[in-house]
C-alpha cells in the first residue's frame, strides 16, 4: 500500500494544531461566560492578559501531544513503509482520544470551578467513587457539559478525518530533502517553544498564573488539561524560610490561652450542625439576596451570631479538619487524602472523649462518601451513622445521594436519647447538595428561587426546624450547646459575594437554650478553625498548661478582638485577614513567584510577591492590591508569613504539637 495516500503532513498537521488551539481558546471563553459573576470586576485588559497567558498553557498541552506525532509523521513521510503507517495511524488515534478527554475536562471545569474555586487536579481521582455513583445525575444536572463536549469533539473528529485525505492533493509528489529538513527543524523549534510556553528563561508552570495577582484570573488563565498533567495525587508542601527561628513563628501567632468565655457550660452536651452549602448570602445578609432559610435566621436571633465568619475551604471534604481539629485547608488538596493525614494533632472528639464524653457523628450519605466517616473517626468520634446505618434506608432514600434531611435528623435525635451524657455529636446535612432532592409531598412547600439549589436550602431549613422542635422536647435539650455553620459557600449570585473573601463567608452561631450564653450579633472576624477552641472555652476546659498546646490556626471566639484573624488558600495564593486588611502571599512563600519575576512577560509588572488589599466598608468589596507600608510589614505581614510558615513547616516535619 502506498503510504502517501494516508499522509496528513505537513498541511493537514498544521490544520490539526490550529483546530486544537481554537477549541481550547473557545473552552476558555466558555469558562469566562459561565463564571462571569466571579470575573466581572476585572477590566478588559486583565482578561486579555489572562487569555494571553492561557494560550501559552494551551500551547504546552498541544505541543506535548503533537510533537511526538510530528516526529512520527516525518518518519512516515520519509520511509513510506507499512510499519511506519500503522504506528503513526495508531498514535494519531491515541492523540485524538487524549484531546477528546481533555476537552471534556475543560468543559466540566466551566461548571465545577464555581464550587471549588480552583482548576481540577489529579486529587479528584481520590474522590472518584462519589463521582461514579452520581454520574448519570451529574450529567443530567450539568447537561451543558456533555452537549458541548459532543459538539467540540465531533468538530475535532471531522478535522482529524478531513486532514487524513489532504495528502491526496500531493499524491505521487516527492519533496526535496532540503525542504523536508526545513520542515523538521521548524516543527521541532515550534514544538520546543510550545513545551516551554514561550521564550522566558524557565518553562511555563502553574506559578506563572500567580503573576496575574488574583486567584480568579489565575483560574481563567490556567488550563485544566495542563493542571492534570502537572499535578500529583500527593502534593508536597514546600518548606518556608521567612524566619530562621521556628520558636519566633509560634510567638508571633500566640494568643492568650486562658479562658475568655463569659460563661462556663461545664458538662454541657455539644451538637455541631454543619449545613451543606449554607452561605451567608442566602440568609438575606444586609438584604443583598433573598432569605431562603427563615428558621436558621430566627435561630440566629436567639444565638450568639457571627456575621463575619469564614469557612476554611471551598468543599465539604475541606470543612471538617478545620471545624473539628483547627486545621485550615492549605495543602492545596484535601487534608484527608493528602500525605499529611497521619500527622499528630489535637481534635475535638479526642479531647472530649478523654473527659468522659460520648461521641457520635451523623451524615445521611453513603458510608465512605467524601471520607466523612474516616474524618469523623480520625477526629475522635467513636461512632458514625450513615445511610447504611439508618433503619428505614429504602423508604427515606432520595434515590441518588442519601437519606433525606428531615427523617435523618429525627433519627439523630432518637440516637441522642440513647447516648450517655455528656455527649458530643456532629451532624452534617446533605439535601442542599446536588442533585437537590426534596420529598415529593414537600416539593410545593418551598419557594423555587432562581436556582434548584434555593428550593433545597428551604427544605434543609425546614428539616433543621423539625430537628430543633424534636430536640426541645428532650430532657438533654436545655443542657446542650448547639453550634451551626455552613460547610462552604455555593452558587453565589450577588456580585459583592464574588470577591475572594465573599467566596468563604458562611454563618456561624452558638445557641444555648438555657440562655446562660447571651444572644447577640458579633461583627468580629472568626473562622471554622475557631470552633474547636471555642467549644473547649465554653465548656470550661483550660488548655493553658497542656503539654500539647492548641494550634495557632484557631482561637476561642471570646479572645480579645485584637487577635481576631482568618486565613485561607485560594488557588496558589494564601490570604490572611485582620480587620479590614488582607495580605496575599504566594502559597509556596514566593519562591516560584520570584523565579518568574525576571521573565519577559507582559503581565509581570502588574503583580508583586506580597500584596495588601483593603476591604471596603461593606466588608465584602476589595480595593486594588497595593504594596504594604513599613508598619504593616512589621505587623500584619509578619504574622501572615508566620501563619504560612508554621503550617507548611510543621506539617512537613509532623511537629504540629511541639512547643
**Secondary structure of residue 294 in the 3-state scheme:** helix
The pLDDT tens digits for 31-84 are 999 988 888 878 899 899 999 999 999 999 999 999 998 888 777 776 667 777
d(CA 103, CA 30): 12
Cβ distance 319 to 504 under 8 Å? no
Question: What is the mean pLDDT of the segment spanning 320-349?
Answer: 90
* Residue 231, phi then psi, degrees to nearest 5: -105, 165
Question: What is the mean pLDDT of the segment spanning 222-232?
Answer: 84
Percent of the chain with pLDDT over 90: 55
d(CA 270, CA 274): 13
d(CA 438, CA 429): 13
Alpha helices per DSSP H over 294-449: 294-301, 316-325, 348-353, 372-378, 393-396, 405-416
For position 608, what pLDDT does the model report?
A: 57
Percent of the chain with pLDDT over 70: 89
d(CA 583, CA 284): 28
For position 595, what pLDDT does the model report?
A: 47
Neighbours of 506 (CB within 10 A): 25
- Check whether the bond before 582 is cis (ω within 30° of 0): no
- The DSSP code for 438 is -
For position 598, what pLDDT does the model report?
A: 42
Quote the Cα angle for 499-566-109, to 5°.
40
Cβ distance 558 to 533 under 8 Å? no
Res 365 pLDDT > 50: yes
d(CA 367, CA 428): 13
pLDDT band at 170 (very low <50, low <70, confident <90, very high): very low
The more confidently predicted of residues 484 and 39 is 484
Res 231 pLDDT > 70: no
Find cell 491515541 and name the residue.
94
d(CA 31, CA 39): 10
Q: Are strands 423-428 and 383-385 parallel, antiparallel or unpaired?
A: unpaired
Neighbours of 383 (CB within 10 A): 15
The pLDDT tens digits for 141-169 are 788 999 999 999 999 999 998 887 544 44
Out of 104-108, 120-124, 421-425, 523-527, which region has the weakest mean confidence (pLDDT)?
120-124
pLDDT band at 126 (very low <50, low <70, confident <90, very high): low
Secondary structure, 3-state, 439-460: CHHHCCCCCCCCCHHHHHHHHH
d(CA 630, CA 157): 58
d(CA 365, CA 430): 7
Which triple of cell numbers denotes residue 167? 495528502
Scored b (16 or more CB within 10 A) or e, 344-360 reads ebbbbbbbbbeeebbbb
Neighbours of 518 (CB within 10 A): 10
Round the average pLDDT of the chain to a whole number and report it: 87
Secondary structure, 3-state, 29-42: HHHHHHCHHHHCCC
Quote the Cα angle for 442-454-124, to 5°.
110
For position 558, what pLDDT does the model report?
A: 97
Q: Which helix (H) or strand (E) holds 25?
A: helix 11-34
In this structure, what is the dihedral angle of CA atoms 442, 444, 447, 450, given to the nearest 10 degrees?
110
pLDDT band at 303 (very low <50, low <70, confident <90, very high): very high
- The DSSP code for 147 is H
In the chain, what's the furthest Cα-to-Cα distance?
Answer: 94
Domain boundaries, the chain: 3-230, 261-468+500-561, 571-653
Please report the DSSP string for 220-282 in residue order. HHS-HHHHHHH--SSPPPPP--S-S-HHHHHHHH----S---SS--TT-EEEEEEETT--GGG
d(CA 299, CA 305): 9
Q: Quick check: pTM over 0.85?
A: no
In sequence order, the 6+-apart residues with CB closer than 8 A to the CB of 102 are 61, 224, 225, 228
Q: How far apart are the first and last CA of the chain?
A: 76
Which triple of cell numbers denotes residue 465? 426546624
Q: Are strands 526-527 and 520-522 parallel, antiparallel or unpaired?
A: unpaired
For position 125, what pLDDT does the model report?
A: 61
For position 286, what pLDDT does the model report?
A: 83
E strand intervals along 516-646: 520-522, 526-527, 566-570, 573-578, 581-586, 611-614
* Residue 444, phi then psi, degrees to nearest 5: -95, 0
Question: What is the mean pLDDT of the segment spanning 271-282?
Answer: 96
Cβ distance 62 to 98 under 8 Å? no
The correct answer on CATH 3.40.50.1010 for the domain covering 261-468+500-561 is no
Which triple of cell numbers denotes residue 643? 501563619
Neighbours of 148 (CB within 10 A): 19
pLDDT band at 347 (very low <50, low <70, confident <90, very high): very high
For position 172, what pLDDT does the model report?
A: 43
Neighbours of 639 (CB within 10 A): 19
Amino acid at each position: 500500500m502506498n503510504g502517501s495516500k494516508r499522509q496528513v503532513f505537513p498541511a493537514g498537521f498544521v490544520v490539526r494544531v490550529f483546530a486544537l488551539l481554537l477549541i481550547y481558546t473557545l473552552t476558555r471563553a466558555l469558562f469566562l461566560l459561565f463564571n462571569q459573576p466571579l470575573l466581572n470586576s476585572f477590566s478588559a485588559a486583565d482578561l486579555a492578559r489572562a487569555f494571553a497567558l492561557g494560550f501559552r498553557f494551551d500551547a504546552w498541552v498541544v505541543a506535548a501531544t503533537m510533537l511526538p506525532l510530528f516526529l512520527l509523521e516525518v518518519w512516515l513521510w520519509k520511509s513510506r513503509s507499512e510499519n511506519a503507517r500503522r504506528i503513526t495511524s495508531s498514535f494519531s488515534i491515541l492523540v485524538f482520544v487524549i484531546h477528546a478527554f481533555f476537552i471534556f475536562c475543560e468543559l466540566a471545569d466551566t461548571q465545577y470551578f464555581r464550587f471549588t474555586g480552583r482548576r481540577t487536579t489529579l486529587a479528584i481521582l481520590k474522590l472518584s467513587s462519589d463521582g461514579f455513583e452520581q454520574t448519570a445525575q451529574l450529567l443530567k444536572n450539568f447537561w451543558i457539559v456533555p452537549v458541548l463536549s459532543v459538539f467540540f469533539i465531533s468538530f475535532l473528529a471531522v478535522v482529524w478525518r478531513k486532514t487524513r485525505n489532504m495528502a491526496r492533493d500531493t499524491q505521487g509528489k516527492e519533496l526535496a530533502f532540503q525542504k523536508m529538513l526545513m520542515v523538521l527543524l521548524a516543527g521541532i523549534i515550534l514544538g520546543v517553544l510550545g513545551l516551554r510556553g514561550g521564550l522566558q528563561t524557565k518553562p511555563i508552570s502553574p506559578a506563572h498564573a500567580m503573576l496575574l495577582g488574583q486567584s480568579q484570573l489565575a483560574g481563567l488563565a490556567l488550563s485544566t488539561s495542563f493542571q492534570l498533567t502537572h499535578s500529583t495525587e500527593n502534593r508536597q508542601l514546600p518548606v518556608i524560610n521567612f524566619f530562621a527561628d521556628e520558636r519566633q513563628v509560634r510567638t508571633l501567632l500566640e494568643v492568650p490561652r486562658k479562658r475568655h468565655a463569659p460563661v462556663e457550660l461545664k458538662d454541657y452536651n455539644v451538637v455541631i450542625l454543619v449545613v451543606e452549602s449554607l452561605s451567608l448570602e442566602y440568609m438575606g445578609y444586609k438584604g443583598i439576596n433573598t432569605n431562603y432559610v427563615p428558621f436558621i435566621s430566627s435561630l440566629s436571633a436567639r444565638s450568639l451570631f457571627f456575621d463575619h465568619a469564614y469557612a476554611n475551604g471551598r468543599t465539604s471534604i475541606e470543612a471538617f479538619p478545620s471545624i473539628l481539629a483547627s486545621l485550615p485547608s492549605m495543602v492545596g488538596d484535601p487534608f484527608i487524602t493528602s500525605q499529611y493525614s497521619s500527622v499528630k494533632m489535637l481534635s475535638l472528639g479526642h479531647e472530649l472523649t478523654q473527659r468522659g464524653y460520648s461521641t457520635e457523628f451523623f451524615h445521611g450519605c453513603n458510608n465512605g462518601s467524601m471520607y466523612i466517616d474516616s474524618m469523623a473517626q480520625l477526629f475522635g468520634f467513636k461512632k458514625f451513622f450513615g445511610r447504611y446505618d439508618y433503619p428505614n434506608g429504602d423508604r427515606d432514600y432520595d434515590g441518588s445521594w442519601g437519606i433525606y434531611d428531615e427523617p435523618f435528623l429525627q433519627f439523630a435525635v432518637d440516637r441522642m436519647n440513647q447516648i450517655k451524657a455528656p455527649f458530643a455529636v456532629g451532624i452534617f446535612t446533605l439535601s442542599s447538595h446536588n442533585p437537590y432532592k426534596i420529598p415529593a409531598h414537600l416539593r410545593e412547600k418551598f419557594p423555587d428561587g432562581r436556582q434548584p439549589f434555593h428550593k433545597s436550602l428551604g427544605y434543609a431549613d425546614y428539616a433543621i426546624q423539625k430537628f430543633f422542635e424534636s430536640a426541645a422536647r428532650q430532657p438533654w435539650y436545655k443542657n446542650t450547646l448547639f453550634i451551626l455553620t455552613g460547610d462552604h459557600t455555593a452558587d453565589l449570585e450577588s456580585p459583592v459575594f464574588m470577591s475572594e473573601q465573599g467566596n468563604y463567608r458562611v454563618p456561624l452561631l452558638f445557641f444555648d437554650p438555657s440562655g446562660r450564653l447571651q444572644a447577640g450579633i458579633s461583627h468580629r472576624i472568626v473562622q471554622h478553625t475557631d470552633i474547636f477552641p471555642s467549644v473547649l472555652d465554653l465548656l470550661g476546659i483550660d488548655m493553658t498548661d497542656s503539654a500539647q498546646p492548641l494550634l495557632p490556626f484557631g482561637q476561642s471566639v471570646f479572645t480579645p478582638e485584637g487577635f481576631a484573624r482568618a486565613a485561607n488558600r485560594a488557588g496558589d495564593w494564601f490570604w490572611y485577614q485582620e480587620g479590614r486588611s488582607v495580605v496575599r502571599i504566594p502559597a509556596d512563600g514566593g519562591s516560584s513567584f520570584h523565579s518568574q519575576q525576571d521573565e519577559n512577560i507582559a503581565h509581570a509588572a502588574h503583580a508583586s510577591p506580597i500584596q495588601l488589599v483593603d476591604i471596603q466598608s461593606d466588608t465584602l468589596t476589595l480595593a486594588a492590591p497595593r504594596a504594604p507600608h513599613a508598619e504593616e510589614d512589621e505587623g500584619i505581614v509578619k504574622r501572615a508569613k508566620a501563619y504560612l510558615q508554621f503550617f507548611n513547616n510543621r506539617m512537613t516535619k509532623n511537629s504540629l504539637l511541639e512547643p
